[in-house]
């Protein structure tokens, strides 16, 4: 990892300034390989201060990314609710929907860490009401030439469909997804139908975050 990136991550740990009480326990250096991507990226990553303040960073360790040509770092979180319980996951969210990633729109550094934005076509709403196309924000992205992922959650891929679980950021005008549990890759129509059924049922019995 470049010294500048390492220094930035260490500064975050020292500042401990997020509402979620960030506690980076360790930073493990990893191999670097040149980034091979098309299109531009302004920058990415950060903790969504308004909507993800309940999340705390526990540690950063090595993790391979979706690309064989990239080696990155993973930020691990502890959640204030059980994301594996779909009733709690839906209860925390403002929107649950099926969407197709059209394109990567860019990225920005927020409070020293990157987040990446994608243009998404909404295919089916499950919870909430959305326009036909929206901007979905994913925590994670590039710092210099290093890819940093949240919970090992690979960046969204253009042309792929996902089930999204999100919170809306009024200031930024984008929908931030819940890492891992809020961007479920859909591999078949049968899987899509099953996810819609599961999350519709969870919506009926949702458990709001108190």
In words, the CATH class of domain 3-204 is mainly beta
Q: pLDDT exceeding 90 applies to what percent of the chain? A: 55
Asked whether residue 20 carries a pLDDT value surpassing 90, the answer given is no
Sign, CA torsion 185/187/188/190: negative
Q: What is the rounded distance in angstroms from the CA atom of residue 140 to the CA atom of residue 74?
A: 9
Residues constituting the chain: 210
Place of tokens 């839906």: 90
Question: How much is the average pLDDT of 130-146?
Answer: 94
Q: What is the mean pLDDT of the chain?
A: 76
Per-residue DSSP letter, 88? H
Asked whether residue 73 carries a pLDDT value surpassing 60, the answer given is yes
What does the block give as tokens for 178?
Answer: 């819940």
Cβ of 125: how many Cβ atoms within 10 Å?
Answer: 13
Inter-residue contact 65 to 71 (CB < 8 Å): yes
Q: What is the rounded distance in angstroms from the CA atom of residue 124 to the CA atom of residue 145?
A: 36
Question: What pLDDT does residue 124 have?
Answer: 97
Q: What is the rounded distance in angstroms from the CA atom of residue 47 to the CA atom of residue 111?
A: 8
Question: What pLDDT does residue 196 have?
Answer: 98
Q: What is the rounded distance in angstroms from the CA atom of residue 175 to the CA atom of residue 133?
A: 11
Asked whether residue 193 carries a pLDDT value surpassing 90, the answer given is yes
Higher-confidence residue of 65 and 110: namely 110
What does the block give as tokens for 73?
Answer: 């770092």
Asked whether residue 201 carries a pLDDT value surpassing 90, the answer given is yes
Asked whether residue 21 carries a pLDDT value surpassing 80, the answer given is no
Question: What pLDDT does residue 210 have?
Answer: 78
Backbone angles phi, psi at 31, to 5 degrees: -65, 150
Render pLDDT for 28-52 as a digit per residue (tens, 0 to 9): 333 333 333 323 223 333 333 333 3
Q: Residue ranges of the domains in the chain?
A: 3-204
Render pLDDT for 139-186 as a digit per residue (tens, 0 to 9): 999 988 899 999 899 999 999 999 999 999 999 999 999 999 999 999
What does the block give as tokens for 16?
Answer: 């401990």
Beta bridge partners of 68: none
């Amino acid at each position: 990892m470049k010294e500048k990136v390492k220094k930035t991550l260490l500064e975050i740990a020292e500042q401990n300034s997020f509402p979620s009480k960030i506690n980076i326990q360790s930073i493990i250096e990893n191999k670097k390989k040149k980034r091979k991507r098309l299109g531009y990226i302004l920058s990415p990553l950060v903790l969504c201060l308004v909507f993800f303040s309940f999340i705390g960073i526990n540690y950063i360790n090595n993790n391979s990314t979706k690309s064989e040509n990239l080696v990155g770092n993973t930020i691990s979180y502890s959640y204030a609710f059980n994301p594996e319980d779909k009733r709690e996951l839906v209860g925390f969210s403002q929107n649950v929907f099926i969407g197709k990633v059209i394109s990567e729109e860019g990225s920005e550094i927020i409070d020293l860490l990157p987040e990446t934005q994608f243009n998404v076509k909404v295919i089916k709403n499950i919870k909430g009401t959305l326009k036909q196309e929206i901007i979905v924000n994913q925590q994670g992205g590039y710092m210099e030439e290093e890819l940093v992922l949240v919970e090992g959650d690979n960046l969204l891929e253009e042309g792929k469909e996902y089930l999204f679980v999100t919170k809306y950021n009024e200031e930024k005008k984008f929908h931030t997804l819940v890492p891992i549990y809020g961007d479920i890759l859909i591999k078949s129509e049968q899987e899509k139908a099953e996810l819609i059924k599961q999350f519709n049922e969870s919506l009926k019995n949702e458990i709001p975050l108190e």
